[in-house]
Structure 1
Amino acid sequence: MPFEWIAAVRFLREGRMQSLFIIVAAAIGVAVIVFMSALLTGMQGNLFRRVLSSQPHIVLERPQEAARPLRQPEHGQAGAAILQVPSPRPDVIDQWQKVRDEVRLRSDILAVAPTVSGPAFVVRGASSQSVSVTGIDPEQYARIVPLPEKIVAGSYRMTTTDVLIGQTLASDLGLRLGDKLRLQAAAGRAVTLNISGIVDLGSRGANQRAIYVLLATAQNLLGLTGGVSSINLTVPDPFDAEIIARSVANQTGLEALSWIASNNQFFLGLNAQKITSQAIRVFVGLSVAAGIASVLVVSVVQRSKEIGILRAMGGSRGQVMRVFLLQGAIVGLLGSVAGSAMATLLVAAWRMLARNPDGTPMFALQISPGLYLLTALLATLTGLVAAVTPALRAARMLPVEAIRG
């Protein structure tokens, strides 16, 4: 072994208790950082599944036309301005196939699904209930919203005669699989469909109004033959949805509404949670670095005579400095290994203890191998940086003064 390694390992062995305490402190800091990272990732994933699993990341719609003033009242005269109100027309995206194909070519878009949506009534006997009808392409829409995973009864079968309904709506109207359901639009169009599946969207309001039919069925029912009312998009990173939405809006000329804009308070809460977690990691890392530096400073004082003898025997300042830098790096590395093991035990304990009232896990908690490697690298670098000041102090010692003490 090189001289610096031999000296560094011997110094650590001679001060066993000091070395043990600082390694344990580093291990606790690493365990906290790794466990918190896994906990935050699992929590965010759980929140995303609960909030975003029933809606797309970006929705493209036709821009709304505003009323334009034709004549303003003259200065000093009373009266109201004459406005030109746009004539009502269906909210249909013009040339939506072209827009869909253009958006699909973007590298920051994962999935594209056109939809038709509008109000209707469910008629059953003498009762009727207002619902929201959504026409979908089953294969494309499942990449946006995982409807097959939300089926609680029946199957994800979508033909021109099939319909999926919300769980609460089925309970309110006493509907079961295989029953006939009559949908009637405001314009008087009606269609009778067979209930092929019942879905749970995780929200009572959504389950009470949700109706999913085939795209062509919704187009005929809502009078939008050949057209769509919106195009839904999914992006790789949900936190980039607002930036991508602006870019898509500029490209297509359509109105792009991201989930961040429609769930602003939820996004602010997630962002605050993320910043808080990062701040805690930084302070834990600083406390570990301060502990390593303090122990190494004490080690320099205790071993001043050894340092003086090494210098008198021909050891260079660089060699002495590398001895203490290696001590800091070794402490950081050993602390990261022990801390990763502690974090793994904490995750195992969390999986056993953190459960919902029905006994199911609260949310998935995993530690990726990349997190272990990153933490080991950061802990080693932290120990190396923390050892800079003690190493400089040791390297600057004069041999005669160091031997005299």
Structure 2
Amino acid sequence: MNDLMPFEWIAAIRFLREGRMQSLFIICGAAIGVAVIVFMSALLDGMQANIFRRVLSSQAHIVLERPKQVARPLRATAPGQSALATIQKPSQRLSSIDQWQKIRDEMKTRPDVAAVSPTVTGPAFAVRGDANQAISLIGIDPEQYVRIVPLPEKIIRGTFRLTNNDILIGYQLADDLGVEVGDKLRVATASGGNLTLTIAGIFDLGSRGANLRNVYVLLSTAQNLINLIGGVSSIDLTVNDPFQAEDIAQSIADQTGLDALSWIKTNNQFFLGLNAQKFSSQMIRLFVGLSVAAGIASVLVVSVVQRSKEIGILRAMGGSRGQVMRVFLIQGAVVGLLGSLLGSTMATGLMAVWRLVAKNPDGTPMFPVTVQPSLFMWAAVVATLTGLLAAVTPALRAARLEPVEAIRG
């Protein structure tokens, strides 16, 4: 077998075997670094996906609305006369998006848009006996809207059913009004709409405000109640890459002339928090990687000093500087590769322990933590390259040793 291996590989493996404890310690150090990076990557990705899912699963990525009416002067000044004009912002009347069907169809053809759903949203009152509550009435097309917000998954009592006589309400509103599935609830609007509907389901959107305020009815029902027959007040969109939502929103606004509000703009603090978390995660990975590289380099530098006589003998027997360099580069790469394999195994074990320990009070997992197979592959590649780069300085030092001086020690 050794006869088939190049000289550099034979020498590198022999050096690693002779310093077993030294090699074992540095491989374990590299393994711990890889395990930390892989486990932390999986943990942070899972946590971010869980937060992202909880926050954005109850809202659209982009909402298209008619532009707001601009303020106008109530009193003009005569030529040559300086006077302050009184500016008053006009009341924003609920009105439909012009040619909304055409805009909806245009959005469906965009490759960066995953789902489109027209909605009618307006203020209303939910009345139950002597009790009443201000609500946000949302009329939806169930077949399209469930691709924006997975309402069937949010139902905790009753069923996801919307006909002309049905309504879906949040559990907080149900508790405040003292109603349950099957009860009647009267909805009244400022435009004179008044309709008694049956509670088909009670949902939990994960937000007290949304559970208290949002109610869902059929699109045509909302149009009748708000007196917006045949129109829609907004068009909700889900995009393929949520982190590009603001750029896509600006593109759509330029294309349609509508106001396009992305979740990034309406949840700016949340978005900044996600970015800060991602940046800190990358910095931690970088410093862990640097510490692993420094450990490999330091051990190989010591190895060069310890084996200076062997290096001198190799040079005296005809070994070139390039061959000596490759011996130590191979050592660094082998240490990095073995460390990545051991570290990936350790990371898998850590994730198994996390799944057993990190649970909610009801026994369900806190959030799913999974690792894509590609992460293990990249860990092996990066660790091997790190070991290779860490070995460059020791390899250069070994290659510069003169045979006579090295043998004399």
State the TM-score, normalized to the length of structure 1: 0.96
Distance 1:325 1:73 in 2: 82
Count of residues paired in the alignment: 405
When the two chains are superposed, the root-mean-square deviation of aligned CA atoms in Å is 1.7
Pick from 142, 145, 164: which aligns with 2:149?
145
Distance 1:290 1:88 in 2: 63
C-alpha distance in 2, partners of 1:206/1:84?
Answer: 32
* 1:265 matched residue in structure 2: 269
Q: Which residue matches 1:227? A: 231
Deviation per CA, 1:56-110, whole angstroms, max 9, x where unpaired?
1111111102113487546985643155865754332111111111111111111
- Counterpart of 2:349 in structure 1 is 345
Is 2:257 aligned against 1:256?
Answer: no
| Residues 378-397 of structure 1 aligned to structure 2 (within 5 Å) | 378-397=382-401
What is the alpha-carbon distance in structure 1 between the residues aligned to residue 143 and residue 94 of structure 2?
26
- The range that moved more, 178-187 or 26-35, is 178-187
The partner residue of 1:285 within 282, 289, 295 is 289
Alpha-carbon shift at residue 394 of structure 1 (Å): 1.2
**Secondary structure of 2:180 counterpart:** coil
Residue 238 in structure 1 maps to residue 242 in structure 2: yes
Paired residue type of 2:394: P
Does residue 1:186 correspond to 2:190, yes or no?
yes
Q: Secondary structure, in 3 states, of the residue corresponding to 1:66?
A: coil
Q: Which residue of 1 aligns with 2:251?
A: 247
Mark the CA change 1:71 to 1:210 in structure 2 (over 3 Å): closer, same or farther.
Answer: closer
Secondary structure of 1:110's aligned partner: strand
2:316 is matched by which residue type in structure 1? Answer: A
Q: Deviations over 1:306-340 (max 9, x none)?
A: 11111222222111111111100000011111111
Amino acid at match of 2:223: Q
Could you tell me how far apart the structure 1 residues matched to 2:320 and 2:78 are?
A: 91
The 8 Å contact of residues 159 and 201 in structure 2, kept in 1 or not, is answered as: yes
Could you tell me how far 1:236 is from its partner in structure 2?
Answer: 2.1
Residue pairs, 1:70-219, within 5 angstroms? 73=77, 77=81, 79-81=83-85, 83=87, 89-219=93-223
1:68 to 66, 72, 77: 72
Quick check: 1:401 aligned with 2:388? no
Instruction: Tell whether 2:344 aligns with 1:334.
Output: no
Q: Deviations along 1:131-189, whole A, 9 cap, x unmatched?
A: 11101111211111111110001111122221111111112222122222221111111
The match for 1:56 is: 60
SS in 1 for 2:363: coil
Q: 8 Å contact 2:68–2:92 — kept in the other structure?
A: no
Amino acid at match of 1:247: S
Deviation digits for residues 335-354 of structure 1 (CA, Å, limit 9, x no counterpart): 11111111111111111111
Q: Deviations over 1:276-311 (max 9, x none)?
A: 111111011000000000111111111111111112
Do the aligned partners of residues 301 and 88 (structure 1) sit closer, same or farther apart at CA in structure 2, a change above 3 Å counting?
closer
Q: Percent identity?
A: 72
Give the drift of 1:357: 2.4
Local SS of the residue matching 1:213: strand
> Structure 1 regions of 5+ residues with no counterpart?
none
Distance 1:267 1:45 in 2: 13
Q: TM-score, normalised by structure 2?
A: 0.95
Matched with 2:299 is: 295
Q: For residues 265 and 84 of structure 1, do their structure 2 counterparts lie closer, same or farther at Cα, with a shift above 3 Å needed?
A: closer
CA–CA separation in structure 1 for the residues paired with 2:253 and 2:92: 23
For 2:15, the aligned partner's letter is F
Distance 1:69 1:320 in 2: 84
Q: Distance in 2 between matches of 1:369 and 1:88?
A: 53
2:94, 2:122 within 8 Å by CA — same for their partners in 1?
no
